[in-house]
DNA sequence: TTTT
DNA sequence: TTTT
């Protein structure tokens, strides 16, 4: 039932080469960020460009695909789950991060890319 | 084109009464948080309950509907846009928040609730 | 990759009790239709109610859940894949049907229903 | 509320040049079909390619964009509403068609296409 | 801070 | 054939 309760879809460009980490358990994790661009007109009629950066996390088979094929600048589409979590910073303070655990990924634009 | 590039759908329960703010411009903003619940079995076979809390922001007509009808505990479905933004904390430090600007909202379960 | 290429989400009311069929292979199939209602104002300013009926198909575990819990009139949310297929009518003519093969289903409105 | 009750997302390739029709009222309609491809392994382990063809309908500004930029073979992403309707065939018989009324469209793959 |  |  996960998909219906918490689902995110993004189409955007990858900000840098994915980081890949293999755990002792054999599990593989890949992370990258993706920019989604939109534009709108403000009250003065000026066109405003707005970019949002999102943190993506891929696991298992999908992480392997990402580590092999996804390059900086590629346009991709993803579907995932929105996660907010806390972790301890270097000085012991609480830090918060929002990530999308990706369930599905497509590379867009055909083989040229 | 916004919808296809950045879209979130959530179904969950409202954590507390919405906060409503009317601006001098006449624009109305409502905010609330919603919990999405899921459960999974861990490697030991134990059932783990996991709750994610999300910040929702409603504007205009939708904010008015929310302020009038949405109560603590209600189950709602929303579609919106995932936004990450920075603001200055009380000590001048940068703080970060993730919000969903809601485009569409439905109250679930009929009038009984 | 299926989910990103072809995905439908519906929220609506079940039109009649699901039909369940168990195959010799042990596989279970359940079908039902659901109505999605919307309203809009026409050019004369009259409120027009519009109902769309959709054919849903559930397989396996999900079909069992549907056959046990889903009743006529229930409000459900589904995510699935849009399928168009042809079959032979009683006079040998080609007939066409559109169905949604459901991947995920939620019953809305709590146990009260 | 339309979007949450009835929403379809497709990513696929356009099957032929869009057909465009301008009505006396000034309203513009464009239609095309789009193929979504998926593959799966059957019980014998053979890879099966499956293509679904969907009918898309665009109105107004979006129809104009489609008529100008969308060509046969282009990869596009759309979000829309699933509609089933009846019309009279040439012999007065009832015919049924399923269409997606598109709310949002993106051309994928950059300007190269 | 919700709900089942 | 549903629901509000």
- Residue B40: predicted pLDDT: 83
pLDDT at position A11, please?
95
Cα A9 to Cα B4, C4, D54: the distances in Å are 8, 8, 21
Average pLDDT over chain D, rounded to an integer: 91
The nucleotides of chain E lying under 7 Å from a protein CB are 1-4
List all chains that touch chain A, counting a touch as 3 or more CB pairs closer than 8 Å: B, C, D
Interface residues from chain C to A (CB-CB < 8 Å): 1-5, 7, 9, 77-79, 103-106
Stated pTM of the model: 0.92
* D66 three-class SS: helix
According to DSSP, residue D16 is labeled S
- The beta-carbon neighbor of D4 closest among B2, B3, B106 is B106
Cβ B77–C75 below 8 Å, yes or no? Answer: no
Cβ–Cβ pairs < 8 A, chains B and C? 26
Chain A contacts of C3, Cβ < 8 Å?
79, 103-104
pLDDT of residue B110: 57
Decide: A80 and A8 in contact? Cβ < 8 Å: yes
Question: Which residue of D lies nearest to A79 if distances are taken between CA atoms?
Answer: D9
- Quick one: which residue's CA is nearest to F4's C1'? B110
**Nearest nt to the C111 alpha carbon by C1':** E4
Q: What is the structure's pLDDT at C111?
A: 47
d(CA D52, CA D33): 10
- pLDDT exceeds cutoff 80 at A111: no
For D79, residues 6+ apart whose C-beta sits below 8 A from its C-beta are B3, B4, B7, D7, D8, D9, D102, D103, D104, D105
Neighbours of chain D (3+ CB pairs under 8 A): A, B, C
Question: Could you state, in order of their start, the residue ranges of all structural domains in chain A?
Answer: 2-108
Q: Among residues of chain C, what percentage have pLDDT more than 90? A: 75
- Has residue D1 got a pLDDT over 50? no
B10 and A11 within 8 Å at the Cβ level: the answer is no
What share of residues in chain B are helix, strand, coil (percent, to 5)? 10, 60, 25
Q: Could you count the other beta carbons within 10 Å of the beta carbon of residue C80?
A: 23
pLDDT recorded at residue B104: 94
pLDDT in tens, C37-63: 998 888 888 899 999 999 999 999 999
Assign residue C14 a region (left: φ > 0; alpha: ψ between -120 and 50; beta: otherwise).
beta
Task: Mark the nucleotides of strand F covered by protein, meaning any atom under 7 Å from a CB.
Answer: 1-4
Residues with Cβ within 8 Å of residue C97, at least 6 apart in sequence: C55, C84, C85, C86, C87
Q: Are B54 and B12 in contact (CB under 8 A)?
A: yes
| Per-residue pLDDT at B111 | 47
pLDDT tens readout for residues A62-82: 999 999 999 999 999 999 999
Interface A:B, Cβ pairs < 8 A: 64
* Cα gap B90→B86, rounded to integer Å: 13
Of A91-100, B13-22, D7-16, D55-64, minimum mean pLDDT range: A91-100
The percent of residues above 90 in pLDDT, for chain D, comes to 73
User: What fold, for C2-108?
Assistant: OB fold (Dihydrolipoamide Acetyltransferase, E2P) (2.40.50)
Of the candidates C11, C106, C112, the beta carbon closest to that of B106 is on C11
């Amino acid at each position: 039932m996960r998909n219906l309760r918490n689902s995110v879809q993004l189409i955007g460009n990858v900000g840098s080469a994915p980081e890949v980490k293999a755990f002792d358990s054999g599990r593989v994790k890949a992370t990258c960020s993706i920019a989604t661009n939109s534009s709108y007109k403000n009250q003065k009629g000026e066109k405003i460009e707005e970019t949002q950066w999102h943190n993506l996390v891929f696991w298992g088979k999908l992480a392997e695909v990402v580590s092999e094929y996804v390059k900086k600048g590629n346009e991709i589409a993803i579907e995932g789950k929105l996660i907010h979590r806390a972790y301890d910073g270097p000085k012991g303070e609480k830090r918060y991060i929002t990530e999308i655990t990706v369930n599905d990924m497509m590379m867009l634009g055909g083989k040229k890319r």
